[in-house]
Structure 1
Amino acid sequence: MMDGMTEPSDVPTKQTPPAGGPDVPDWEKRFRAPRLSLPEWAFDAPHRALFVSNATGTYELYAWDRETGGQRQVTDRANGTTDGVLSPDGEWIWWFADTDGDEFGVWMRQPFAGGADEPAVPGLAPSYPAGLAVGRDGTTVVGRSTEEEGTTLHVVRPGQEPVEIYRHRESAGVGDLSHDGTLVAIEHTEHGDATHAALRVVRLADAAGASGAPPVTQVAELDDTKGGTQPLGLAVLGFAPVDGDTRLLVGHQRRGRWEPMVWDVASGVETDLDLDLPGDVSAEWYPDGSGLLVVHSFEARSDLWRYDLATRRLSRVDTPTGSVSDATARPDGEVEYLWSSAATPPEVRSTSGAVVLDPPGMRAPGSVAVEDVWVEGPGGRVHALVHRPAGVAGPLPTVFDIHGGPTWHYSDAFAAGPAAWVDHGYAVVRVNYRGSTGYGREWTDALRHRVGLIELEDIAAVREWAVSSGLADPERLVLAGGSWGGYLTLLGLGTQPDAWAVGIADVPVADYVTAYHDQMEALRPLDRTLFGGSPEEVPERWAASNPLSYVDAVRAPVYIAAGVNDPRCPIRQVENYVDRLAARGAVHEVYRYEAGHGSLVVEERIKQLRQEIEFAARHLATVSGTRPDGG
């Protein structure tokens, strides 16, 4: 083992979490407290629901009969399960079975009332998933992605073999299946731009593949990537929930942001909703098809509205200030939603005022409210969210927590990780750099060719504000993130070596060229879009954005955690980076664990964060002479 390198023991054991007694710190309780997703209900059996919970210490699927109140655990796997779908009749629970988080597997199904698991589509070989739509008559459309075939979509009818209805090398996916099971909406990127999808709607043959007839006929195509100075993306939000209704709810970017419109795929008529709301807007149908439940996101907060299609009137659905991470309209018109804020743990709420589903056991302790900061950056104003310990003056040791995606954003929502750092005396700054969603199309689409370097320019601008404002101690700055945030962490440590005292990268891209060749097939088109070509076609761009290119310039101690089964940020490219650190005796720790792109086991998450906090405290102490947490 090289000098400066330690390797904490590899973990992954599934165990029942300890009770939240007085000796358990608040930061651990926030992870261990039972969490719930918003229950998904069956359209034709709305009393039956499916949700995800960590009640056993691992995130698994649960069935819930709302009439009887009965609940049962559906899945029980060492590394957890979160991908599940309830059939419209409420009779079946579909769930995706991969191997230890590698995301490569098959769909299984289990009766809602309980029973043995069985292969949901026996005729389809294992693959990466590319969408799933389960119809009311049992017709199902399954999306698959493999190295050999690219993306393929298959229609499966009860008692029949799967029939392929779509194939392309570029990325694509199942958008939705119409209410009567006759139409399929497909999101595809055949034009070669994986960040801006086009839409195609096809009609299924009465008997797929019978008598040599084609299994589908094309009904309509919608493509906003052509004809303008900049390509625009489209997204399927869902068919109208009415038999014979050919209206499709679509997300578009024609006015510089995401917003919905209604597209009648039979007539071709597009109905612009023209919603007078700033920021990004999404929507889903009310169950009777008369209106839309609108989810509005603006400046890291979100709220809900109802849009009446007949009167074209928008009315507010009352929710507290914070973030709505999921919402659904019930058949009785009530709206249920999953809400939280930085200070308040998640709650499944209803506009009726009733408690929708109350998790068992202890409640997660709250945390500090978030502060908004706007900083002038090289590409425009950068929004950052700041968590600071209550009653503590700066300058403070500060964690720059960088989000993944990159097409995602931090919001005023509860997160146990930042709250843990705050409990240990750190300020936490979360930057919504260029590439983040929620700030308009141009902000999200800025990541082209100078991949990674653009985001780091915005992070540097916020870092300068944090130091000059007196919040952050310039000698005790931690750059940290997971996935794309882990990539930016390693790239930042190499391109801004004097700016950071410690780096913490979870499941990162560390050697981008090797990652491209090893990662799951569906991600390669996205990378080619961002860079303008493959590593062989534009090697200079890949080299300029590759953390491995700058590894010899890294001065800060580095902590890296990586899942050995990760298909998104594969382990070989992480090992390449670690080997380079070790070869020159750079101070680092690497932790490998038996999972994929992150862990669904609560105790594993706690162990990793504990190691990261201890690593930062240990190395910042050598800078300041005192530990950030006062130890």
Structure 2
Amino acid sequence: MSDEKSAVPAWEQRFRAARVSLPDWAEDAPERALYVSNATGTYEVYAWDRTADRHRQVTDRPNGTTDAELSPDGRWIWWFDDTDGDEFGVWRRQPFIGGPDEEAVPGVPAAYSAGLALGRDGTVVVGTSSDDDGTTLHLRQPGAAAPETIYHHEEYGGVGDLSYDSALLAIDHTEHGDAMHSAIRIVRTSDGSTVAELDEVTGRAEPRGVACLGFAPAVGDQRLLVAHQRRGRWEPMLWDVLTGEETELLLRDDRGGEFPGDLSAQWRPGARSLLVEHEYEARSELFSYDLEKGELTRLETPRGTVAGATARPDGTVEFLWSSAAEPSAVRSTSGAVVLRAPGPVPPSSVPVEDVWVEGPGGRVHALVQRPDGEGPFPTVFEVHGGPTHHDSDSFAAGPAAWLDHGFAVVRVNYRGSTGYGQAWTDALRERVGLIELEDIGAVRDWAVSSGLADPAQLVLSGGSWGGYLTLLGLGVQSGSWTLGLAAVPVADYLTAYADEMEALKSLDRTLFGGTPEEVPERWQASSPITYVEQVQAPVYISAGVNDPRCPIQQIENYVGRLEQLGKVHEVYRYDAGHGSLVVEERIKQLRLEIDFALRHLGRAR
């Protein structure tokens, strides 16, 4: 190792090391692919000609680009162009071989994206969402000069998929008003008329969601692969949208038992089999399912997390894998590493331990990493966002940085997290934020009593929903935490609701069971600013000034109250949206958080 590299701390090397996403390939031109990489220091879109092994940077914007898609024939790269990370923009496209960008569908107004579907015959469906107009799906038929509206509703929805012949469009929608459980409508692209509806929310005491996983990739096959929650978890089924026939896939594990956790699936080329992903207790595994034989075959993957997988026409499966200890790589079931990022591999980190703690709503799963030495350690509770997400046994540069500085790291999959069944995910109702904090508090008590954590050096930290829970926890559990680090948080929920993007307003109405006017006491009880006077710990807040999810004004309101009350706090504002795609900016933000923690915990750097 060179002296220059040795001088760079391992935690910074992990951030600066180049990464690549799972390549997405064109369905009718599988040797043409797209991926996202931070090789230049900013996450941008790259085109990959796999036959010639040529890589070309497609986008180059100050705040980065991640949303892109290939046309089925591989001729065009579509990418979403927003302003400074605000997620509000239009789709542009450029030739795969290179050339100038052009507005992809003139006539579609700038908005938040609600999905995109590209048909083999040139049919295009663009989904838009706006605060004033709800959800609109714009259809442009082959040869048409301008798009037309094929769907509109004030509640949030989005593009599901186009059938193989582009005759049918699947729409994921929440017209019933429950943003946590979507329904599916099938319409004809010729006239927008409804063909079929799959709604397991309306009229049910216990709502169940369904979600579009894609039409069969075969001529004349109008089956739709659907995810459903009929047995208390996500599972796949087939739905013939013309006949109405449903085929639930009762998948069984190696011992013949039902799979715990959630199952998802995607079509393999030819539509005769499926690629199945099983997600449970912070880890994932892959299977292939033969539809004719009804046989499920395990695909060997290392223990850890598959962050994405795709079945290739040659029968292999490519997947992006990592563990908490080992950095990610795009691998193949052939045994090969498919795609390597340029430059050095980031330093490894510490494996996770699984901990189960009895909480008020059931057993809570936590992932624990310990630094070198003997405890009790200063400990960071790194709280995940979402809230319908989960921490996993996967490589993350942030937790690894805290470990390098002598901190233990605890990540809690509180009620609301995915991968533990529908009841666990759906538990976030009406007592928003307070339920999650009960689970985090139970794990905090375990960490102290077990000797892992020093009770005088407990850091509550998180971004997005995790930042919200951090600020809420500093007030509601004020005696439990030594300091807090909140990135892009909800801080003043009433103001956040007024300013945030429409998709999140819909989710919030579902979580709270109504608007702020309808159930004001619930919103008040779950807003961090309600408890700001009770905050005892020093608070560090970082915020993107263009953030449409956790807008800046509601953070300024909270900071203003901290200032009025004389609370110890620091604020960092940066020119981006809900986080940053620029590597050096991410390093700067974490360096500021670490410095804040070390200063206020009285620890030498």
Matched, 1:465 2:446: yes
Equivalent residue, structure 2, for 1:355: 337
Q: How does 1:216-365 map to 2 (within 5 A)?
A: 216-276=192-252, 277-365=259-347
Matched, 1:575 2:551: no
Equivalent position to 2:384, from 396, 403, 408? 403
Q: Hey, what's the Cα distance between the residues in 1 that align with 2:349 and 2:178?
A: 41
Q: Hey, what's the Cα distance between the residues in 2 that align with 1:406 and 1:419?
A: 22
Q: Hey, what's the Cα distance between the residues in 2 that align with 1:562 and 1:226?
A: 38
Q: Hey, what's the Cα distance between the residues in 2 that align with 1:105 and 1:425?
A: 43
Q: Which amino acid aligns with 2:228?
A: H
Matched, 1:191 2:176: yes
Q: Hey, what's the Cα distance between the residues in 2 that align with 1:355 and 1:434?
A: 36
Question: How far does residue 226 in structure 1 lie from its aligned partner after superposition?
Answer: 3.5
Show structure 1 runs of 5+ residues with no match. 1-17, 206-214, 622-626
2:6 is paired with a residue of what secondary structure? coil
1:386 is paired with a residue of what secondary structure? strand
Q: Hey, what's the Cα distance between the residues in 1 that align with 2:4 and 2:139?
A: 48
The answer as to whether partners of 2:547 and 2:576 remain within 8 angstroms in 1 is yes
Equivalent residue, structure 2, for 1:211: none
Equivalent residue, structure 1, for 2:501: 520
1:21 is paired with a residue of what secondary structure? helix
Question: How far does residue 227 in structure 1 lie from its aligned partner after superposition?
Answer: 4.6
Question: How far does residue 244 in structure 1 lie from its aligned partner after superposition?
Answer: 1.7
Equivalent position to 2:365, from 376, 379, 383? 383
The answer as to whether partners of 1:150 and 1:170 remain within 8 angstroms in 2 is yes
The answer as to whether partners of 2:176 and 2:202 remain within 8 angstroms in 1 is no
Q: How does 1:76-225 map to 2 (within 5 A)?
A: 76-160=60-144, 161-205=146-190, 215-225=191-201
Q: Hey, what's the Cα distance between the residues in 2 that align with 1:272 and 1:95?
A: 35
Q: Which amino acid aligns with 2:358?
A: E
TM-score of the pair, normalised by structure 2:
0.98
Matched, 1:504 2:489: no
1:135-159: CA deviation from partner (whole Å, max 9, x where unpaired): 1111111100012211000111243
Q: Hey, what's the Cα distance between the residues in 2 that align with 1:382 and 1:275?
A: 26
TM-score of the pair, normalised by structure 1:
0.94
1:19-53: CA deviation from partner (whole Å, max 9, x where unpaired): 97110011001010010000000010000000000
Equivalent residue, structure 2, for 1:3: none
Q: Which amino acid aligns with 2:236?
A: P
Percent same amino acid at aligned positions? 70
Between 304-313 and 148-157, the greater mean CA deviation after superposition: 148-157
Q: Which amino acid aligns with 2:54?
A: G
Show structure 2 runs of 5+ residues with no match. 253-258
Q: CA RMSD in A?
A: 1.0
Q: Hey, what's the Cα distance between the residues in 2 that align with 1:573 and 1:95?
A: 31
Q: Hey, what's the Cα distance between the residues in 1 that align with 2:598 and 2:412?
A: 22
Q: Hey, what's the Cα distance between the residues in 1 that align with 2:138 and 2:289?
A: 34
Count of residues paired in the alignment: 597
Q: Hey, what's the Cα distance between the residues in 2 that align with 1:266 and 1:105?
A: 35
Q: Hey, what's the Cα distance between the residues in 2 that align with 1:477 and 1:147?
A: 39
Q: Which amino acid aligns with 2:164?
A: H
Q: Which amino acid aligns with 2:514?
A: G
The answer as to whether partners of 2:260 and 2:420 remain within 8 angstroms in 1 is no
Runs of 4+ in 1 over 6 A off after TM superposition: none
Q: Which amino acid aligns with 1:141?
A: V
Q: Which amino acid aligns with 1:218?
A: T
Between 147-156 and 602-611, the greater mean CA deviation after superposition: 147-156
1:561-584: CA deviation from partner (whole Å, max 9, x where unpaired): 000000000000000000000111
1:291-328: CA deviation from partner (whole Å, max 9, x where unpaired): 00000001111000001000111010110000000000
Question: How far does residue 523 in structure 1 lie from its aligned partner after superposition?
Answer: 1.1
The answer as to whether partners of 1:241 and 1:287 remain within 8 angstroms in 2 is yes
Question: How far does residue 228 in structure 1 lie from its aligned partner after superposition?
Answer: 3.7
Q: Which amino acid aligns with 2:89?
A: G
Q: Hey, what's the Cα distance between the residues in 2 that align with 1:590 and 1:110?
A: 40
Q: Which amino acid aligns with 2:77?
A: I
The answer as to whether partners of 1:39 and 1:49 remain within 8 angstroms in 2 is yes
The answer as to whether partners of 1:20 and 1:29 remain within 8 angstroms in 2 is no
1:347-396: CA deviation from partner (whole Å, max 9, x where unpaired): 00001112211111111000000000000000000000001113x11110
1:216 is paired with a residue of what secondary structure? coil
The answer as to whether partners of 2:545 and 2:551 remain within 8 angstroms in 1 is yes
Matched, 1:29 2:13: yes
Q: Hey, what's the Cα distance between the residues in 2 that align with 1:151 and 1:246?
A: 25
Q: 1:345 to 1:95 in 2, by over 3 A?
A: same
Q: Which amino acid aligns with 1:240?
A: A
Q: Which amino acid aligns with 1:242?
A: A
Equivalent residue, structure 2, for 1:586: 567
Q: Hey, what's the Cα distance between the residues in 2 that align with 1:584 and 1:150?
A: 39
Q: 1:323 to 1:20 in 2, by over 3 A?
A: farther
Equivalent residue, structure 1, for 2:581: 600
Q: Hey, what's the Cα distance between the residues in 2 that align with 1:164 and 1:409?
A: 36
The answer as to whether partners of 2:279 and 2:419 remain within 8 angstroms in 1 is yes
Question: How far does residue 204 in structure 1 lie from its aligned partner after superposition?
Answer: 1.2
The answer as to whether partners of 2:32 and 2:48 remain within 8 angstroms in 1 is yes
1:444-488: CA deviation from partner (whole Å, max 9, x where unpaired): 000000000000000000000000000000010000000000000
Equivalent position to 2:437, from 431, 456, 462? 456
Question: How far does residue 243 in structure 1 lie from its aligned partner after superposition?
Answer: 1.7
Considering Cα pairs closer than 8 Å and 6+ residues apart, tell me whether 1 or 2 has the greater RCO.
1
